[in-house]
Amino acid sequence: MRYAVTFRAKDSDPGMPRSALPPPNQARLVFQLSSDASIYESVLIPLKSEWVDTSGPLAGFGIDITQSDIDSLGDAITDGLFTNPFADDIGVLVSAHVEMTV
């Protein structure tokens, strides 16, 4: 004996097409690999506006990696079990910037 149950539902939210949504603000953290300092791995995270440099040559684009939030996150990534897709250990945080999307 087989039974089939069907529920009819209609979504009341019309939604927004992806092209109409604003791009998410993200920060890209760039790390050197522990095994080879000439190879880099990057990690995208949500961006807080207070991280963005407001002066200097990278104003509006660069992120100060000495800030406590960024420093703590970098330490958590390098001290944790994180690896790149090839199982290479992620090493020291070398730079960070705002990820530009258009």
| 12-48 residue pLDDT tens | 777 766 666 677 789 999 999 888 888 899 999 999 9
Label the pairing between strands 40-46 and 26-33. antiparallel
Reported as a pLDDT band with limits 50, 70 and 90, residue 51 is very high
What pLDDT is attached to residue 66?
Answer: 87
Nearest to 44 by CA among 69, 26, 71: 26
What pLDDT is attached to residue 34?
Answer: 86
Reported as a pLDDT band with limits 50, 70 and 90, residue 86 is confident
With respect to residue 36, please indicate whether it lies within any of the assigned structural domains. Answer: yes
Buried b (16+ CB within 10 A) or exposed e, 14-50: eeeeeeeeeeeeebbbebbbeeeeeeebebebebeee
Q: What percent of the chain has pLDDT over 70?
A: 89
Q: What is the total count of domains within the chain?
A: 1
Segments forming the whole domain that contains residue 42: 23-99
Taking the C-alpha atoms of residue 90 and residue 40, their distance in angstroms, rounded to an integer, is 8
Diameter over CA atoms, the chain: 74
Q: Up-side HSE of residue 47: CA atoms within 13 Å toward CB?
A: 23
- Quote the pTM value: 0.69
> Which 3 state secondary structure label does DSSP give 75?
helix
With respect to residue 44, please indicate whether it lies within any of the assigned structural domains. Answer: yes
With respect to residue 17, please indicate whether it lies within any of the assigned structural domains. Answer: no
What pLDDT is attached to residue 31?
Answer: 93
